[in-house]
Amino acid sequence: MTGVPDRADEDTLRAPLDAGVRALLDRWADEPAMFAGTAPGTTDGVPEARARFAAQMIEGAGRAPRDPEVREAGGVTVRVHRPAERVTDVLVVFVHGGGWVLGTGDAYDAVAARLADDLGAVVAAVDYRPAPEHPFPAPLEDTLAAVRALTGDGTRYALVGDSAGANLAAVTALTLREEGRAPAACLLVYPPPDFEGRYPSVAENAEGHWLTASDVKTCSRLYLAGHDPRGDVRLSPLRAPSLAGFAATIVATAGWDPLRDAGHAFADALLAAGVDARRREHPTLVHGFYGFTAAVPAADTAVGALHAELAELLGR
């Protein structure tokens, strides 16, 4: 079951955790917590956390079928993935997750390569500088610089991001909307769009489903490095004065994710602003399913459907 409610008032009832997800999480059960040993103001434990995350991404997503072309755009490293068969001239800019801290280097190559092949599009994955070495606003500044450089010639483009990358993609979409160069469409997978709100799913899914409530707090603290998020739409795109004119957007959420309700809130706010927003909940899945496609058949099906819908948006 990967329910896809189309209306904001059609929340899916609590569904059982997918068996494939449970098997994957069971294999990781004895590993240290993702952010074990990390603390704001230091880099203690961060290399180990990045290594754990990269190893889990390889198990979850497999390995990329082709090596990307690594180059710079706007002074920022980008990893360019070319599809097996190109069918569109739209450039897809991918912004990786990992709590603004993890997911650097080649950790997301398989995810970006899958995106390229599914859409038949060139994908430029932004390898932004991570926190805590480079806290807010450095990851956002890198994302904006790369997207501006990649699309400065008027190239039609889409923005795709998961988790922290979805936050960066959403803020980038808002910023470039103001510059008159909005993306053609966005795919935001389990985004954290609001640093100020308190959402029931954080407590409901606090433990045992890969991303924990403690992880959410740790990522935020490492990224903010003491910055006060209140009133800053560069952190909380949900709180922008207006979302009107935001690009057509798919917001994907997972039923067993602490960020589920925040994703719902962002999709609902887009709809209320008159945006073509599609709220796609996957009630049996967890945060991280976008990178679990090689290990969890239900995640593979869900990601294929999301990519097909994004291709439909870009083909209009």
Residues serving a catalytic function are: 163, 257, 287
Cα gap 200→164, rounded to integer Å: 19
Token code pair at residue 202? 């954080």
Token code pair at residue 193? 């769009």
Question: Are 270 and 249 within 8 A, CB to CB?
Answer: yes
Alpha helices in 120-252 (DSSP H): 138-151, 164-178, 200-204, 213-224
Cα gap 62→39, rounded to integer Å: 30
Place of tokens 């403690």: 214
Question: Are 222 and 136 within 8 A, CB to CB?
Answer: no
Residues 6+ apart with CB under 8 A from 240: 174, 233
Residues 6+ apart with CB under 8 A from 139: 100, 128, 129, 130, 131, 164, 168, 223
Q: How many CB atoms are located within 10 Å of the residue 118 CB?
A: 18
Q: Is 160 helix (H, G, I), strand (E, B) or coil?
A: strand
